[in-house]
Structure 1
Amino acid sequence: MNELLEPVIAGSAFEWRKAVVALLLAFGLGQAIAVVYMATFRGLSYARTTVHGMAMGSVITCMLMLAVGTNIAAGIGVAGGLSVVRFRTTLRDPRDIIFVFAALGVGMASGLQAYGTAIVGTLIFGGGAALLHVTGYGARRQPDGLLRFVAPSGPGAEEAIARVLRAHCRTFSLVTLREAAQGTVMEHAYQISVLTPDLRSPLVTSLQAVPGVHDVTLLLQEPTLDL
């Protein structure tokens, strides 16, 4: 039994301590990146497995870097082994890919004992991601939604509709105007931006109160949501 365990226990205490510190640091920093990801995530396609992948991927990367060290032959062997594995999981959001890559980078830095680089890099990356999230960097104002309804043809109905839209919307533009019911009514489609989100329901109610207007539908579009 001692002969079998000899390759395992032959390493010095310093090597064991180095490996433990590097792996624990990689796991902790990977979790920190995952926490920032969870705090700044916006959308509907949240996956718990992605968060777990960030935390555990840093450990795996660190382990590989510790195993390879400065051995070029071992590095080529690890690269060849990884090339055989085919990862079929796809990440549709480029932001998810960046966070996963950041977790892998933390694992690499920890495995190379560049602890300062790993810690400072995690702090700057997490702070930058939080700052971009809070400031809404890169966001562009877009219409809140598409408003559809059927209204009778004639100047009277158009004036009443215009008054309702001006009272509830910041901007509105006619997208589609089509005849229906042999020209007796018109189908309207507007791109709108309401003054406040609370006015969405009153807008629909006010349009339905206009004589002859019916089938009012407001299709909301949130550009930050991924279905």
Structure 2
Amino acid sequence: MVTFDDIFTSAFLDRIGAVPLIDAIVAMLLACGIGLFIFLIYRKTSSAVMYSTSFGVTLVALTLITTLVILAVSSNVLLSLGMVGALSIVRFRAPIKEPLDLVFLFWCIATGIVLAAGLLFLAIFGAVFIGLVLLMFADRKTDDRPYMLVVHLEGESAEQKVITAIEARAARHALKAKNVHGGSVELTFELRLKEGGAALVDELDALEGVTDAALVSYNGDYLG
């Protein structure tokens, strides 16, 4: 039978001071700071016009949670084994649209592990170095984006004029599909435009035999 004295002499109370309070505070504050830094790098390097704010908050929270968990398991071997078993039932099914998002998630997890291990200088240096590398590549972004062009026309002569106009305006292009409905033809191109090539749509629309033309940004399989 457990008595009142047994509660205060249990091993549970002995583990209260397993992680020094000052160490936990420093680790969590640094985790919050580096998490915010990762969030800022994500905003700066995101290729999307409208980045996900919820994903940015997730980056900060993931850094904090990882640090907290590793601080806990590092103080007790049995707890670490139990934590592995508990985390094995977690399944993440959120779709990751951008491969670079996985890099940020892993960055947050790695930062939390390094901070909880007490390697504070390594965590700070690593965050700054990785951030600078990502910013360097972000500054080299170009407008060389892939597009899908859909053109509706009538007659073989109009088709040849369309191809000629595309060859003049596009750095690279490939005909992906051609559909014929009676006398109407639909052409679908995958292309990369030269500088100022956005005027291609206006030029195609002015061609005789072209009924309409649509140019859309394409984020599927890029030209090799």
Query: Normalised by the size of structure 1, how large is the TM-score?
Result: 0.73
Counterpart check, 1:104 vs 2:109:
yes
Question: Residue 95 of structure 1 corresponds to which residue in structure 2?
Answer: 100
SS at match of 2:104: helix
Name structure 2 gaps, 5 residues minimum: 1-6
Confirm or deny: 8 A CA contact 1:34 1:55 kept in the other structure: yes
Q: Structure 1 residues 178 and 79, CA, compared in 2 at 3 Å: closer, same or farther?
A: closer
SS at match of 2:154: strand
Counterpart check, 1:150 vs 2:150:
no
Shift of 1:142: 6.4
Confirm or deny: 8 A CA contact 1:144 1:193 kept in the other structure: yes
Write the letter of the residue equivalent to 2:28.
L
Question: Residue 204 of structure 1 corresponds to which residue in structure 2?
Answer: 201
Counterpart check, 1:26 vs 2:19:
no
Aligned residue runs from structure 1 range 18-167, under 5 A? 18-43=23-48, 46-136=51-141, 143-154=146-157, 157=158, 160-161=161-162, 164-165=165-166, 167=168
Name structure 1 gaps, 5 residues minimum: none
Confirm or deny: 8 A CA contact 1:153 1:185 kept in the other structure: no
Shift of 1:116: 0.9
Confirm or deny: 8 A CA contact 1:149 1:189 kept in the other structure: no
Equivalent-residue separation in structure 2 for 1:17 and 1:121 (angstroms): 23
Counterpart check, 1:217 vs 2:220:
no
Equivalent-residue separation in structure 2 for 1:90 and 1:188 (angstroms): 32
Equivalent-residue separation in structure 1 for 2:176 and 2:52 (angstroms): 36
Indicate the structure whose relative CO is greater, using CA pairs within 8 Å and at least 6 residues apart: 1
Equivalent-residue separation in structure 2 for 1:115 and 1:210 (angstroms): 64
Count of residues paired in the alignment: 210
Write the letter of the residue equivalent to 2:206.
A
Equivalent-residue separation in structure 2 for 1:92 and 1:185 (angstroms): 36
Confirm or deny: 8 A CA contact 1:151 1:188 kept in the other structure: no
Equivalent-residue separation in structure 2 for 1:169 and 1:88 (angstroms): 39
Equivalent-residue separation in structure 2 for 1:185 and 1:68 (angstroms): 68
SS at match of 1:113: coil
Q: Structure 1 residues 194 and 111, CA, compared in 2 at 3 Å: closer, same or farther?
A: closer
Equivalent-residue separation in structure 1 for 2:115 and 2:97 (angstroms): 28
Question: Residue 193 of structure 2 corresponds to which residue in structure 1?
Answer: 194
Query: Normalised by the size of structure 2, how large is the TM-score?
Result: 0.74
Shift of 1:120: 1.0
